[in-house]
Every structure is written in C-alpha cells, then in structure tokens.
Structure 1
Amino acid sequence: MFAHSQTPGGERWYIYNVLLECSSNEKEFEHFRFPGRTLRFSTPPDNSFVLFPTPVGQAFTCHRDLSIELEDPDTPDTTAILLLREFKSEPFMFKSESYGQDHVCSDPRTGGGRSEAAPFIVGSMLAFAALSMVTGYSIYRYFKIKKVQYDTME
C-alpha cells in the first residue's frame, strides 16, 4: 500500500509511506527465521520521506528498477527491500478516469539527474577571483600609497 500526499501548495503529489504486509507461511519464506508470522514492513516512522514527487495531473512512470528499503517496527533488525519494475502511479485522477501525462523518472546512467559540478566550479572561481582582488589591493596599498601622519596635520 502506498500513502500519497500533496505538497503544501498543492502543485505536486508524492508518496510518503509504503506498507508491505507478508505472511511467513508462504512457500517463498520457508527458511524465514519467524515462521507462521505476518510481518508488516514500512518506511521509517521518523520519516521526512518523499518518494517520486510528480506534478498534479501527471502519472509517475519509471521503466527502470526502483528499490525501497523497508523495516519492521516490531523486529528492528529485520528489513525488506521492495523492488518495483515498470512502475506507474497516479493517486489523484485529474479530470478523467485514466492516467495523466507521464512524468518519467530520470535514469542516472543517462545523466538524468542534475550535476552539481558546474555550479561548484563557477562558485570556486568567483571566490578565488574576489579573494585575489582583495589581497592584490591590500598589497598595492601597503607598498605604493604614501603613509600620512594624521596627527601632524593642522
């Protein structure tokens, strides 16, 4: 189960909580250390957790594999990883009963995420230029400007 919410301005929706319930009686969990128990995994409760922010009226779509790490509050040392493949979600149907325009996730292999290298380099160059200018002017004033004794002036 996915719990959705909107940003305070209402321009985006996001998933803030994921709940996965599974029974360890299933065949896939035959070697599980808690037999006969139903486990409820969820995102951490302290969560400042925002998954898949998407503009309202659009559907979040991702064609690559996504993974979400979940934990069981009853057994803190037990975690689960939820793998999502070909994932598409839109919690608020906008003006119709079908999905809205796709808001496709960025693929890190194709550089979909924004690189912070260029702003860092430009900022560093600007800081170096300002520091050089102040240092150069200080050296110039120290050696070239005639010192005036203000206490002898009348």
Structure 2
Amino acid sequence: MNYSWNIGAIIYAFIVCTLAISSNAQSDDEDNEEAEVFRNEDGTSKPVPFFRIYENNDKNNGLPCVLVSMDVDITIEPKRQQNKKTTVSLPMAAHAKGNCGHGFDSRITISWSSFHLSWHFQKSRVSDAWYVDVIELSFNTSDKLLGDLYSEAPSKEFTPNSIVSIRTDDPLTLFLTPIGRSYSCSYPAEVKILDSKKVSRVTFQLRNVRIQPFASMTQRQFGDAFRCPSEAGRRDDTVPFAVGMTLAVVVVGTVGGYAGYRYFKIKKIEYDTME
C-alpha cells in the first residue's frame, strides 16, 4: 500500500478545511458589517435609526449621498435649575433632509417633534478625507418631551414656546475618515456643547454610529467601514487567518509524526521478517 500518498492527501485535506474555516469566519464578519442592526456585547442585537439623503432629493431614482445610522441620547441641562435635566432619545420614526454637497460641504438634518439635529460635514482640503465640522440642535422649550424642564427657568432667559438653538462654537474635526469609506463605531462617545446664551448644557451620547457623507455608489448601502480606534484595537481581521494557519501547522506536525512512526514500524517488521 502507498502510505506516503494517503498521508499527503490527508494533510492536504486538513489544510484546505482549516483555511476554509478561517476564510468563512472572516467573510461572515464582513457580511455583518453591512447590516442595519448592531450586535451588543451580550450577543443580543437591536435595530438602529437609519437615514439616507438622496441626490436631487429623489428617493426613487436618486442614489444615496449621505447615510447615517446611530443611537443618540440627548441630555439637556439648563443652568440655574438645581441640576434638573432631561434625556431625549433619537426615535426610529424621525425623518431626515439635507444636501449632498458636491463641493466641500454636506449636511443632514434629522427631525422629530420640535427637535432638529443637524450634522455638517466637510471634506479636508489637505487630504482625501471627510469629517464632522458642526453639530447643531434646536427645540421648543414647551416640547412635551422635555416635561417641565424649562417651566421654572428665569423668564429673561427662556419663555414658553421659545426656540433654543445650540451648536458647537469652534469647528470640529470629528470622525476623520477617508473619502469613500464609512465611519463605524459601536462604542459610546460623548459630545458636549452649550447654547448661544450659554445657559443650557447639552450632552450627546452616541452609540452604534455609522456615517458616510459624500457617498458615490451604485448600491444603497455603506462603503467599507473605517473603525474608531477603540473598536479597531479589539478587532483584527488577520486573526482568523492566523488561527487557521496555526491549526494547519499542528495538523501537519501530528500527521507527519504519525507517518514517520508508521514508516519506521513497518520497516522494522519487514526487517524482522527477513531475519
């Protein structure tokens, strides 16, 4: 019997199987990246508010140019209110409008109730990248989502049914990402700003963020993910391949050792028989 051929076939089959497993693990992760559902640390998953802005505002025929998916909790805290504060969450039923910005700037405004949350994007003039430049929030002080948050505010600062407008004072360079790719981060991030009168503090708690402005694509989905540092540190796409190769080496060593043992044992038997 040709033992060397059988052992070689076994080794080849094991290597193919282990590399196939590692390749499948990597492709499964890539498929999950395109989903509009984020998976939590405990293995559960949840839908995340998702918005698209289309070229020429034509949802039926236009291609998406701005894509935003995120969980947002907005904590509003008026000063001089004895630490009173209220948190409002971005609902799934919110709607969006904006502009594609074929030059250097783009914008999306997400609206619900009296709230309007705007994100302004800029293209870098020194590198092939985009970033968030300005975040704005406006709302009515009498909005039912705020309860009695502003009911006891000093009248000279806020009146019933007044509009509070809040935006970042200095230009941001938030979520710097290569053009053509989407910024992706499931880890929480905070952005804090004050209103123009500096009497209300607003904290944005962001989770499960995926954003892509200046998109030019043939399919209505995000481009390749550019991960935030905290997420990129925990995720390494070379791991499945390395694990597969390690398994292959172990298998080759084990099968090779067994082959050597069988070879010398058979030779010894043949020699003893001849004697």
Normalised TM-score (structure 2)? 0.36
SS of match in other structure, 2:203: strand
Structure 2 unaligned spans of 5+: 1-117, 236-275
By percentage of residues, which structure has more helix? 2
Number of residues of Structure 1 aligned to a counterpart in Structure 2: 108
Of the structure 1 ranges 77-86 and 48-57, higher mean CA displacement relative to structure 2 is found in: 77-86
Q: Check if 1:59 corresponds to 2:59.
A: no
Match of 1:28 among 124, 138, 145: 145
Q: Report the Cα offset of residue 36 of structure 1.
A: 2.2
RMSD, aligned α-carbons? 2.2
Between the aligned partners of 1:84 and 1:4, the Cα distance in structure 2 is 17
Q: Check if 1:99 corresponds to 2:243.
A: no
Structure 1 unaligned spans of 5+: 113-154
Between the aligned partners of 1:61 and 1:39, the Cα distance in structure 2 is 30
Between the aligned partners of 1:49 and 1:58, the Cα distance in structure 2 is 19
Between the aligned partners of 1:28 and 1:107, the Cα distance in structure 2 is 33
Q: Is the 8 A contact 1:60 1:88 kept in 2?
A: yes
1:70-122: CA deviation from partner (whole Å, max 9, x where unpaired): 2211x1232211121211111111333421011111228x689xxxxxxxxxx
Q: Report the Cα offset of residue 10 of structure 1.
A: 4.6
Between the aligned partners of 2:209 and 2:141, the Cα distance in structure 1 is 25
Q: Report the Cα offset of residue 51 of structure 1.
A: 0.6
User: Structure 1 vs Structure 2: percent identity of aligned residues?
Assistant: 19
One-letter amino acid matched to 1:79? R
Normalised TM-score (structure 1)? 0.62
Q: Is the 8 A contact 1:54 1:103 kept in 2?
A: yes
Give runs of ≥4 in structure 1 deviating > 6 Å. none
Between the aligned partners of 2:161 and 2:144, the Cα distance in structure 1 is 11
Q: Is the 8 A contact 2:182 2:223 kept in 1?
A: yes
Which of structures 1 and 2 has the larger relative contact order (alpha carbons within 8 angstroms, sep 6+)? 2
2:164 corresponds in structure 1 to 39
Q: Is the 8 A contact 1:94 1:100 kept in 2?
A: no
1:10-68: CA deviation from partner (whole Å, max 9, x where unpaired): 51000010011122212232222234222111111xx2421110000100111011111
Q: Is the 8 A contact 1:17 1:42 kept in 2?
A: yes
